[in-house]
Each structure stands twice: as C-alpha cells, then as structure tokens.
Structure 1
Amino acid sequence: MAFIHFASKCERSLTYPQSGLSVKHLAWAAYSVSLGGILMPICLVGGPILIQAALYTGGIVGSLSLVAVTAPSDRFINWGGPLAIGLGVVFVSSVGRLIIII
C-alpha cells in the first residue's frame, strides 16, 4: 500500500514530456502494476462476478477515454454533466436496491 501511495505521488509530481517516453511514464507504469497487484487477489477471492464487473467497467471507461482522446473537437468533453447524472442514477439505484432488500 505504501508503494502505491509513493508511486502515485511520484507520478503526479513529474512534468509531462514534450515527446517520447519519460520517467513519468515509468512512474505511471509502476503505479499501475502495483495497483493491479493489490486488486488481483481480490478478483481471485471475489469470484467471476467481480472479474466480470471489473472488465465491464474497464471497457466502458476505456472506450470513453478513447473517444475523448480521438475527438476532433471539445464537444465530447461537454458530455460531463449528462454522464455524471447517469452515473448518479446508477449509484442511487444500486444503493436503493440494498435498502429495499434489507
């Protein structure tokens, strides 16, 4: 856990490179690998449903990031409000389901 914190702080403190690979990329890779090392045992213990949820979440976030990066204009960035509302609806429905079951 301490390494994850250190790698995160290190990655955030470095400046973005003008071009090519840099130490910032290595720090980001170290952070990602260490975070994956912590999350993988949880996936192994949690079972297939947790792995499926992680894959779906990664797919959705990755596809949204890909669209945002390749968008020719800033129009996609203006979708933040509606996407946040949709996330709020999903979150409230999940919490509501827990309350109704109990």
Structure 2
Amino acid sequence: MTESPFETDGCRPAPRNCAPDSRVVAARLAALSHPARIEIIKHLSASNSCCCREVVDRFDLAQSTVSQHLKILVEAGLVRFEPDRQRSRYAVDHAALADVSASVAALVNSCCSGR
C-alpha cells in the first residue's frame, strides 16, 4: 500500500509539506468557519473576559454547544481559557486574531499582486 501525500487534520486533508505557519492559519480559519464561533469571538471581544454562562445567556444555544464552540476556539489559539474558581473565564487572544488577519492579507496580496 502506498502512503498518501496527505494527512488528515480531522476535517480535510492537508498536504504534508505545508509550512507550520500555514497549518496554524488553516486551523484558526477552520475554527472561524462557523457563524456561532464568529459571534462568540465578537461577544468576547466586547469584554475583558466572560464565563461560559454569560455566552450562553447571550445566544440561543445550549450550554454544551457553547462549551464545544469555546473548546474549538481555545484549541485553535484564538481564545484564552483562564480557570477562575467555580467559573472559568474566556478571553479573545487579540494577537492571535491579528496574526490571522495579517496572514490572510499577505496571502491575498501575494496572490493578487500581479493583477
């Protein structure tokens, strides 16, 4: 059996020879690919930090759904998780979000510069 030139990241295959930075950007874009997660990022950006309950109260989503979305955002490095006694706090990692923006802008510029 021949080895595939792709490995799976859980959603879609990614070429094995992708640069680590490209993998990070792709993972972060994948985390942002759900409308609820975009709204959660917007909500978290409006405050220093929030607990899961505050996010649940803001949106018409079950607590388990919000927790799953927050987990994905934390794993992608877009949101920081801070244990705080009984209620854990979540906050946007603004530097990580700015890095995604810069990476996408650089990609668009490099692809469109000759046009």
Larger Rg: 1
Q: Give the structure-1-normalised TM-score.
A: 0.32
Structure with the higher strand share, 1 or 2: 2
Q: Taking CA–CA contacts closer than 8 Å with sequence separation of 6 or more, which of the two structures ends up with the larger relative contact order?
A: 2
* Larger helix share, 1 or 2: 1
TM-score normalised by L of structure 2: 0.29
